[in-house]
Chains A and B, each alone.
Chain A
Amino acid sequence: MSKSSTIYKGKTGQWAFILHRVTGFLVFLFILLHIIDVSTLNDPTVYNAIHQLYGNIFLRLFEVGLLFALLYHALNGLRVIMIDLWPGVIKNEKALFQFMLSLAIVLTLVGGYFIVKPFFVGVH
């Protein structure tokens, strides 16, 4: 009786849509952060101090998350464009979602390796 709200049990399309919104918003927040960190460039010591921060493991992992958000948003965006423009694609939209999500995960793992690697072996 305690549960007052329930979640609509849509299929992959609903979750593809929600994940698209969430990753889109996260990428937008990152762009704001990026504008702030780049705008510190008129003082090189502040700029360098801030960009030193990006080398720590937490922000490197954050960047791996950002990479996934970017990749998913871009690839699912392509999926939606394909559904919109090509009549045949809609019949395979679920498989296409699974393909795009898998591709985003694989590319995130590959990219994540290069993002996290310098933390363990050093930048130089």
Chain B
Amino acid sequence: METAEAGAQAQDAMMQEVEVHLRIKRFDPDVDKRPHWEEYFVKLKPSDTVLTALHTVKWTIDGTLSFRRSCAHGVCGSDAMMINGVNRLGCVNLISDVGTSLVIEPVRGLPVIKDLVVDMEPFFAQYRSVMPYLINADDPGYTERRQSPEDRARFDDTTKCILCGACSTSCPVYWANDQYVGPAAIVNAHRFIFDSRDQARAERLEIMNQKSGVWRCRTAFNCTDACPRGIKVTEAIEEVKRAILYDRS
């Protein structure tokens, strides 16, 4: 009885509106020379997401606030941003997770276009540079390219990437060095390097062995902490490093 009551109370608390204080780093290229901070107060439920907080600001207080979002459910990877000092997706973090005092900034290491919207093109150029697609010249005929569950499991972790950029833009090396391909590109290279059906392993390892590749990683582990899909990013990068060291024929 008591636990049911406590559960009901907790549910009530989640439905009770609280005041949320947002500090958002704003930048309008038409007006501003440099970014500035704006403060907003909104009423939200603890069960609301940070994205809902941004929507509330945009729809009821200041329509000029710009940010990206598409699916709003942690799948599309559009709304990676810095929330209270760490890279997170706005859409999967509840007010009850992150607190009622929020500091929101665009991710670092990519040029800011407006407010929380950054230019993702350098990021996608790095992604394309690792050839993130299956390369296999053999014609399987009218059947699938079959693979054992063990072979599939080898790269399972790195298939989960949604290309939100939270990992790359949390990396201190990535902020300082625009030549580094970044954790996300390495994760997507890993996904094919360790795929038994792929035939371009050597080429991809060669790309990873460049000056801009895996050796720029200094194991700060920010990427692993930032990934909203829980991918062990640093571990994937280390596996690619060891593949270059040991496995090349």
Assess the B108–A8 pair: CB atoms within 8 A. Answer: yes
Interface-centre pick from A1, A6, A11 (highest chain B CB count, 10 A)? A6
**A90 to B219 alpha-carbon distance, docked (Å):** 10
Q: Which of A1-28 contact B (CB under 8 A)?
A: 1, 3-4, 6-14, 16-18, 20
The stretch of A34-42, A80-88, A99-107 in contact with B is A80-88
Asked if residues A84 and B222 are in contact (CB atoms below 8 Å), the reply is no
Of residues 196 to 232 in B, which have CB atoms within 8 Å of A's CB atoms?
A: 218-222, 225, 232
Smallest CB-CB separation from A1: which chain B residue?
B37
Tell me the smallest distance from the CB of B230 to a CB of chain A, in Å.
Answer: 15
Interface size class of A (residues with CB under 8 A): 20 to 34
Question: Could you list 6 further interchain pairs (A-B, Cβ under 8 angstroms) beyond the known A6-B85, A8-B82, A13-B220?
Answer: A4-B36, A8-B108, A10-B86, A16-B220, A17-B172, A84-B241
Q: Are A18 and B172 in contact (CB under 8 A)?
A: yes
B108, B238, B241, most chain A CB atoms within 10 A: B238
Once the chains bind, are A8 and B238 in contact (CB under 8 Å)? no
With the chains together, A90 CA to B172 CA distance in Å?
Answer: 19
Known contacts: A17-B172, A83-B238. The answer to whether A10 contacts B222 by CB under 8 A is yes
Q: How far is the CA of A20 from the CA of B82 in the complex (A)?
A: 25
Q: A6-B85, A9-B86 are in contact. Are A14 and B222 (CB under 8 A)?
A: yes
Q: Can you give 18 A-B contacts (C-beta < 8 A)?
A: A1-B37, A1-B39, A6-B85, A6-B103, A8-B108, A9-B85, A10-B220, A10-B222, A11-B225, A13-B221, A13-B225, A14-B221, A17-B218, A80-B218, A83-B238, A85-B242, A90-B234, A90-B235
